[in-house]
Structure 1
């Protein structure tokens, strides 16, 4: 049974044809080029079975066209030109669609970034009545970026990370209308599990044998009912996590109370109805306390962002020639990359004390990053080897390797930064912006599913950090957009105000609920939202590199 359908007006002349939707035919005597443009423009118009797009096909193709669930999104500006290869039939032409493919919506409704030339060949034929119609419609659907944004809404679907004991957003895109069906469409995505980009990084608590028993529905009082089955034998603590996974996901498509049932009874005993403000603060320990103001490295020393004073111990006194550093989430530990002649080496220890050397070094080491929920420190040696430092029971740091083959195949890694939930890393590779998922199996860890974000518009990247779990901020050498915000799937890019910044911007740090701090040629600057003019940070210093804990 379909979960929903579009209401249609049935005219007398079309009754009994079984078409389901009544859509207008293309304009009379439309030329082949305009016909193909109209076909692409009709792809996402409401209607069952892509009825609006089928109107541009000949009768045989209308009946037989079965497009895949994949949607290719192209830039709004695209061209249609006649193919130069001669056709044996004078009433048959081939129209080439030329543009830029910015990405695809895969079968799990996740956006997969791409930036390549789109070339689609569409065959059209003059019908008996003299009208041109498409006779070989493409196997995949094509739509413009504007049409996609108008018809789809983004929903961060939540999945659980056992490593960091928090929920990770997995951005999906669902048809926005009818709005009443949004909760059902989103729950289907939740039950079907994470997208390819997060496979192996997170756990779907609603996987087999749990499933939706009947349709998600709204009661007369507005309560949204989510009926589950297959939950028998699931312990109470897991039931609470399942409830959280559902509520955190549905909060983006409904403001109603959510009643979660398991075989007709409350999923969590004595707690049938939920709102998002009733959930525990999952992941609260993964963001730094507001008491920790952040640090900066400048002149070989580590100093406070709050007052500019050197931190206690050899990291602040100048005993170490510090190149870069990272403070642990709780603020108690410090990892520093120290210059040692023509090479560098890593030290990790308690803030304010001597920092023991770790058996890891090289010509270069990227600024360290702390892996959430584990206490591990990661850095990249000589742009190619990802090192993972683990504290053993004896209190010594041991260097382990990470299977980063998929990522290092893309080029030399100059920056690596963990997301606040630990499920992903952001990387700067040969001046370009990448993300990858963190997959752990036993004691081994791998970086999988690397995705290149905004390859055309984000180049010459110097540094990157995470604003939220699914949003990045990157700084580039571009004078027109030196600071940009990019969604984790690469679907959207926004530029921050460039006022007051002096190229080249070379450093950035960010954290949830904190101002963004960037470093340019003159010092440190801060802003919180797009469009805001950058303000100088008090106690700023030239050549400083800022960093929040993490």
Structure 2
């Protein structure tokens, strides 16, 4: 793609013979570091104007590097002519681009003296929405920008793009990702909703993060997440360090009639939300009075019972399907008790509930059919209703609900109650749009779903509606180099591990919104990649054509998994 742009650039330069700087691209990308509302657009920050000698091409490139929202995008406005700087009203949000080029625009006729048209070309990366969440957006971007020489001899933009366009490098240097914590599907614990907020000014950062919290979940997760904070509640005063003792005061407006349990949930939401932007103790207040009767200053360690972890429990270990039997994933590799380990069932793939007490297994029912069996660990597993030629690896939502995909089309969930197990279809039409699903995994907090659909990674919200469940708000996360996704697993609360068909980057860590794709080393690995799972640590475990490997970090060298269980085996951990 870049080669084509450079060729077009040189051709236009040769034809027009304009005395402009040759095409240039933004330097290679760097990863962002998050925060956003005491309104950062009206905050003050020192801004450096463009150098006096910038030519039109360089001016437009510098304009795209002006990502700071401070003082109503003052950094970007300084690249505009005086009248346009006063009138410019970019649409809400940001368009984030990469591989930026600026070239002289082709013209049908001559331009007036002191006027030049510049074509801005780039590859779209995604959009920062008005709610400060990121969504991917792919394709080429192109806009023509009019640049005019001012009376003082400086070039300035007179027709900027209608939306705020920012290079990925600039965005990454100005914004940082911050998890804003809301309640899970049954409102028992807190889970993150990732947003991006300008890092500066640092003094207003805690207040801007709390503004996002009190405004509620992002649009993409509004149907899946809940909040204990009543509508209309806002910070009563600025979120700042208390005089003398260094605690961070969060003083909320009147909550109304709120139970003690809800107050503790509010405390958990606030304290976990602030943990990425401040190390201080959090002092929670309502209209200047203590929010909680039994506690005043809190840290995340005081509220761990509300945190829903998204990695397997360290004490449960893992299991593996080896030669169609279920075995322990430890040095003994002993079969699990009961028919799943004895060989009575021909097991293809399986999943263990988060508490370790239940097993769901896809087993052979006939030469052409598999069925779902569920039951207590180490005991007989009841065969449930659905059958098909294929079923995906079972994935648990809590310890009494398990999901799988039948025939690549129908998402089903089996639920345990006093009367036994019942099976129902999940409304996934909006999520899949009729395309085949080859892998599906629920986040351990039960609010998100990740799937491989037609070779693409798709993330969505799990919405509970009157006892039924609907998969909504699907967002495809485009893989680098158009790689095909082969399998996935949740790595932690904010990222996934995926395997691909790429030889150069067979394994990635992917942020839950798709902004970051970090490749694991390809050393030791060989295609085809067969399966991926995540253990405590988190440790990513993959099977390739010949072995099963493990790694704790994308920069680590892959190590052979111990015990050696063979690449045709299917390891898995609770969840």
- What is the TM-score normalised by the length of structure 1? 0.91
**CA distance in 1 between partners of 2:363 and 2:531 (Å):** 18
User: Are the equivalent residues in 2 in contact too, given 1:87–1:93 (CA < 8 A)?
Assistant: no
Give CA deviations for 1:433-473 in whole Å, capped at 9, x if unaligned.
11111000121101111111233346222211111111101
Give CA deviations for 1:467-520 in whole Å, capped at 9, x if unaligned.
111110111222222221010011111112222223222111114534222112
Residue of structure 2 in register with 1:200 after alignment? 223
**CA distance in 2 between partners of 1:284 and 1:59 (Å):** 52
- Within the alignment, does 1:213 sit opposite 2:236 as a pair? yes
User: Are the equivalent residues in 2 in contact too, given 1:73–1:142 (CA < 8 A)?
Assistant: yes
- Within the alignment, does 1:393 sit opposite 2:418 as a pair? yes
Residue of structure 2 in register with 1:132 after alignment? 155
Q: Identify which range, 355-364 or 203-212, moves more after superposition.
A: 203-212
Give CA deviations for 1:209-230 in whole Å, capped at 9, x if unaligned.
4221122122233221111112
User: Are the equivalent residues in 2 in contact too, given 1:192–1:207 (CA < 8 A)?
Assistant: no
Instruction: Give the 3-state SS of the residue equivalent to 1:364 in structure 2.
Output: coil
- Within the alignment, does 1:369 sit opposite 2:395 as a pair? yes
Instruction: Give the 3-state SS of the residue equivalent to 1:510 in structure 2.
Output: strand
Q: For the structure 1 residues 383 and 362, does the alpha-carbon distance in structure 2 shift closer, same or farther, using more than 3 Å as the test?
A: same
- Within the alignment, does 1:145 sit opposite 2:168 as a pair? yes
Instruction: Give the 3-state SS of the residue equivalent to 2:306 in structure 1.
Output: coil
Give CA deviations for 1:47-103 in whole Å, capped at 9, x if unaligned.
41222222221222111011233111111x211123324267534443221111111
Q: For the structure 1 residues 218 and 87, does the alpha-carbon distance in structure 2 shift closer, same or farther, using more than 3 Å as the test?
A: farther
Instruction: Give the 3-state SS of the residue equivalent to 2:209 in structure 1.
Output: helix
- Output aligned runs, 1:299-314, within 5 Å: 299-306=323-330, 307-314=332-339
1:80 to 99, 102, 108: 102
**CA distance in 2 between partners of 1:371 and 1:282 (Å):** 17
- Within the alignment, does 1:168 sit opposite 2:191 as a pair? yes
User: Are the equivalent residues in 2 in contact too, given 1:502–1:521 (CA < 8 A)?
Assistant: yes
- Within the alignment, does 1:259 sit opposite 2:312 as a pair? no
Give CA deviations for 1:188-216 in whole Å, capped at 9, x if unaligned.
11111111221111112224142211221
Give CA deviations for 1:96-130 in whole Å, capped at 9, x if unaligned.
21111111111011111122211122222344555
- Within the alignment, does 1:452 sit opposite 2:476 as a pair? yes
Cα offset for 1:131? 4.3
User: Are the equivalent residues in 2 in contact too, given 1:467–1:512 (CA < 8 A)?
Assistant: no
User: Are the equivalent residues in 2 in contact too, given 1:391–1:398 (CA < 8 A)?
Assistant: yes
**CA distance in 2 between partners of 1:162 and 1:121 (Å):** 46
**CA distance in 2 between partners of 1:449 and 1:259 (Å):** 36
User: Are the equivalent residues in 1 in contact too, given 2:136–2:477 (CA < 8 A)?
Assistant: yes
- What is the TM-score normalised by the length of structure 2? 0.88
User: Are the equivalent residues in 2 in contact too, given 1:226–1:259 (CA < 8 A)?
Assistant: yes
Residue of structure 2 in register with 1:231 after alignment? 255
Q: For the structure 1 residues 123 and 386, does the alpha-carbon distance in structure 2 shift closer, same or farther, using more than 3 Å as the test?
A: same
Residue of structure 2 in register with 1:18 after alignment? none
**CA distance in 2 between partners of 1:545 and 1:37 (Å):** 50
**CA distance in 2 between partners of 1:274 and 1:248 (Å):** 10
- Within the alignment, does 1:466 sit opposite 2:490 as a pair? yes
Number of corresponding residues:
533
**CA distance in 1 between partners of 2:440 and 2:120 (Å):** 39
2:73 to 50, 64, 68: 50
Q: For the structure 1 residues 126 and 217, does the alpha-carbon distance in structure 2 shift closer, same or farther, using more than 3 Å as the test?
A: same
**CA distance in 2 between partners of 1:470 and 1:193 (Å):** 18
Residue of structure 2 in register with 1:331 after alignment? 356
Residue of structure 2 in register with 1:61 after alignment? 84
Residue of structure 1 in register with 2:544 after alignment? 520
Instruction: Give the 3-state SS of the residue equivalent to 1:147 in structure 2.
Output: helix
Give CA deviations for 1:293-346 in whole Å, capped at 9, x if unaligned.
111112222221112222222212222221111111122221111222112221
Q: Identify which range, 261-270 or 532-541, moves more after superposition.
A: 532-541
Q: For the structure 1 residues 368 and 125, does the alpha-carbon distance in structure 2 shift closer, same or farther, using more than 3 Å as the test?
A: same
Instruction: Give the 3-state SS of the residue equivalent to 1:211 in structure 2.
Output: coil
- Within the alignment, does 1:353 sit opposite 2:353 as a pair? no
**CA distance in 2 between partners of 1:3 and 1:35 (Å):** 28
User: Are the equivalent residues in 2 in contact too, given 1:458–1:476 (CA < 8 A)?
Assistant: no
